């Protein structure tokens, strides 16, 4: 209704601020998901998780609400916690781990700086009370800024070697970067301005020998063969021999009795 803001709705309804924001966000659902929610094919918990996402990725996330097992004729609805885990693993990008500056609007001019972008969880923490840290929800924009940042660093320092050590898709990987499991030979030139550095004790290799070395492998660890303990008491030896005799010839003992 016109004239009402979130604070007024919180006061009149008695609900929390996060609850009001979650209900208002349902207006951002795409028509197909809004229809599924109205028909009660998904619960309010599913709809709230989907409504917080940009509209262009809601349909992909909606598919994760369902699963069809081999004995099922129709897909069944999964609990909302499965959808939440999928979103956190596949869609959220931590801005704290981003290599670029979150205050630089020139990395992607159409999107602007991250600190003023509404497509992140930190823009409205009341809408994302269950999300830790500031998470980016726009993966294409995030990757554009990463590539622009790398291009600037390479232009400023051409001697840098790009290494791709993440699990990104092949379309998102940079072709000039060294991929995981690969290597590249580069020319090494001594720096005349560098000071000589001696290895510290912690950096020197250490060899531990436990037991006797065999087959010329001093670095291998071997257990010492210890002799079996033998009874030293005469009374113990006597009990051992009597038990052995009784076990061997039980009939003799009964005949003697």
Render pLDDT for 14-24 as a digit per residue (tens, 0 to 9): 999 999 999 99
Tell me which H or E stretch contains 66.
strand 66-67
pLDDT at residue 227 tops 90: no
Q: For residue 55, is it within any domain?
A: yes
Tokens of 25: 């966000």
Say whether both 83 and 99 belong to one domain: no
Q: Are 28 and 55 in contact (CB under 8 A)?
A: yes
Of the listed ranges 7-16, 172-181, 209-218, the least confidently predicted one is 209-218
How many domains is the chain built from? 2
Q: For residue 240, is it within any domain?
A: no
Please identify which residue in the block is written with the tokens 């590539």.
147
pTM of the model: 0.64
* CB proximity list for 124: less than 8 A, separation 6 or greater: 21, 118
Q: For residue 71, is it within any domain?
A: yes
For residue 246, the SS3 value is helix
pLDDT at residue 214 tops 50: no
- 103 is in which domain, residue-wise? 93-164
Mean pLDDT score, 199-218? 55
Greatest alpha-carbon span in the chain: 112
In terms of Cα–Cα distance, which of 89, 91, 83 is closest to 46? 83
Q: For residue 245, is it within any domain?
A: no
Q: For residue 184, is it within any domain?
A: no
Of the listed ranges 2-6, 43-47, 60-64, 108-112, the least confidently predicted one is 2-6
Q: What pLDDT is attached to residue 36?
A: 96
Say whether both 72 and 155 belong to one domain: no
**Higher per-residue pLDDT: 160 or 218:** 160
Q: For residue 250, is it within any domain?
A: no
93/89 Cα distance (integer angstroms): 9
218/208 Cα distance (integer angstroms): 8
Say whether both 22 and 87 belong to one domain: yes
DSSP for residue 63: G
Q: For residue 117, is it within any domain?
A: yes
pLDDT at residue 223 tops 70: no
Say whether both 20 and 74 belong to one domain: yes
pLDDT band at 129 (very low <50, low <70, confident <90, very high): very high
In terms of Cα–Cα distance, which of 127, 124, 100, 96 is closest to 111? 100
CA 136 from centroid of its chain's CA atoms: 16
What do you get for the CA distance between the two ends of the chain, in Å?
108
């Amino acid at each position: 209704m016109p004239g009402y803001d979130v604070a007024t709705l919180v006061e009149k309804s008695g609900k929390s601020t996060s609850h009001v924001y979650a209900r208002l966000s349902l207006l951002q659902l795409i028509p197909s998901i809004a229809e599924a929610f109205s028909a009660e094919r998904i619960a309010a918990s599913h709809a709230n998780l989907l409504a917080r996402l940009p509209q262009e990725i809601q349909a992909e996330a909606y598919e994760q609400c369902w699963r069809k097992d081999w004995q099922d004729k129709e897909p069944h609805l999964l609990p909302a916690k499965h959808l939440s885990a999928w979103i956190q693993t596949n869609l959220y990008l931590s801005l704290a781990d981003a290599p670029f500056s979150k205050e630089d609007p020139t990395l992607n001019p159409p999107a602007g700086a991250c600190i003023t972008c509404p497509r992140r969880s930190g823009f409205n923490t009341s809408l994302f009370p269950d999300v830790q840290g500031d998470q980016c929800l726009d993966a294409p924009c995030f990757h554009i800024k990463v590539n622009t940042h790398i291009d600037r660093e390479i232009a400023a320092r051409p001697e840098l070697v790009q290494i791709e050590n993440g699990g990104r898709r092949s379309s998102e990987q940079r072709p000039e970067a060294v991929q995981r499991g690969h290597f590249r030979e580069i020319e090494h030139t001594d720096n005349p301005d560098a000071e000589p550095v001696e290895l510290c004790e912690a950096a020197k290799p250490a060899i531990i020998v436990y037991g006797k070395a065999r087959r010329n492998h001093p670095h291998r660890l071997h257990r010492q063969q210890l002799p079996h303990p033998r009874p030293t008491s005469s009374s113990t030896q006597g009990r051992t021999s009597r038990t052995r005799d009784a076990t061997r010839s039980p009939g003799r003992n009964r005949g003697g009795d």
